[in-house]
Structure 1
Amino acid sequence: MLHNSYAMIVIILLINIVYVTFFTIRMILTLKGQRYLAAFISIIEVVIYVVGLGLVLENLNEIQNLIAYAIGYGIGVLVGMKIEEKLALGYITVNVITKEYDKELPKLLREKGYGVTNWAANGLEGDRMAMQILTPRKYELKLYQTIKELDPKAFIISYEPKTIHGGFWVKTVRKGKLFS
């Protein structure tokens, strides 16, 4: 089967898609501090890499194998990113500045299960409310939609916190009591 050039192209393409998908997920896990899972995935990743690269190097005179390897690499990056997007590991912090000061807004968000800290703020055009909201990443898009429904003119900035310590909300999420 490895002597058939079309089969070789497909094998190299698939091997590299799988390899780079593992590579992308391992990198994300490493950045998220999941070192043991990342190390385990790297073992599988390196075996796939050596096999794929070996096939290309054994048949270096066949340009289509090199092209398949490169295309597989690009597709693998996209697949890995899509998988990570679905996993949505970690938390997101969203800073919101409302158009109007609305005392009920934080309460509505808390009732939906989000961790909200709010305070009075002053902007160019008057009083505002500033909120810092913490949520698991898998609820990020739902949070944006909720904020936009409650205040369509809200100013929203989000980022991933590197470290979270303390607070009742994270403990509650870890026990699985929110968003169930």
Structure 2
Amino acid sequence: MLNWGQSQFGGDSMELAITIFVLNALYISINTFRTMLVVKGHRYLAPIVAVVEELIYVMALAIALQHIDSKLNIAAYAIGFGVGIYIGIIIEDRIALGYVNFQVTVQIDPNNPMHEHSEELPEILREKGYGVTVSHADGRSGPRLVLSILAPRKAERRLMEQIKEISPDAFIMVQEPIELSGGFWSKEVDKRYHKANKNS
């Protein structure tokens, strides 16, 4: 029978509460990260992370259940849960796995200062290492450029800022593709993006 924590700690000790908090925060952060891996289709990495996750879960649950009568331990378990979710989101955001596809619609109007550089936007973004496909469209108030831009997800915020600098009123929709095949494919995007931004 598992008896982790039974002999090492007293039922109401602060040391035990901290142990429960740390283990549960660690478990939930890994659980959150693993869930995001599953959603993004990382079919090999997700099971490996799940093994570590469950080992920590068994230890945390065994200790918590042996001392469930303590309000301090219950609070530590609950707070660890919330903190773990936050940490998991931060970890995934920092690692930023995968790619994003921006669909950007900009108005073409050389006589309007807000739109005078719209036609230059595709080439400016290509020089910064992004894969850009351009098509022309007609909107209610005139011609438009529709850009499909593939970028590493870690570049999402920077790309958004760069588009807004050139075309402040651009309509931007961001999607996260699950699979990429053919065309200006992912490894080439990574290589060109890092080459263009290595000194920035």
TM-score of the two chains, using structure 2 as the length reference: 0.84
Q: Which of residues 132, 153, 157 in structure 2 aligns to 1:116?
A: 132
- SS of the aligned residue for 2:92 comes to helix
Return the alpha-carbon distance in structure 2 between the equivalents of residues 44 and 97 of structure 1.
44
**Matched AA of 2:84:** G
Identical-pair percentage: 41
- List structure 1 segments (4+ residues) > 4 angstroms apart after TM superposition: none
**Matched AA of 1:145:** E
Return the alpha-carbon distance in structure 2 between the equivalents of residues 27 and 41 of structure 1.
10
Q: Shift of the alpha carbon at 1:178?
A: 3.2
Q: In angstroms, what is the RMSD of aligned CA positions? A: 1.5
Residues 41, 178 of structure 2: 8 Å contact kept? no
The 1:169–1:36 alpha-carbon spacing in structure 2 relative to 1, beyond 3 Å, is closer
Residues 130, 192 of structure 2: 8 Å contact kept? no
Bigger Rg, structure 1 or 2: 2
Q: Shift of the alpha carbon at 1:162?
A: 1.7
**Matched AA of 2:148:** Q
Q: Which residue of 2 aligns with 1:100?
A: 108
Q: Which residue of 2 aligns with 1:77?
A: 85
How many matched pairs?
A: 179
Q: Which residue of 2 aligns with 1:15?
A: 23
Return the alpha-carbon distance in structure 2 between the equivalents of residues 60 and 103 of structure 1.
64
TM-score of the two chains, using structure 1 as the length reference: 0.93
Return the alpha-carbon distance in structure 1 between the equivalents of residues 33 and 119 of structure 2.
41
Q: Shift of the alpha carbon at 1:31?
A: 1.7
Establish whether residue 179 from structure 1 lines up as the match of residue 187 from structure 2.
Answer: no
**Matched AA of 2:21:** L
Give ranges in structure 1 of 5+ residues lacking alignment. none
Give ranges in structure 2 of 5+ residues lacking alignment. 1-7, 110-117, 196-200
**Matched AA of 1:13:** F
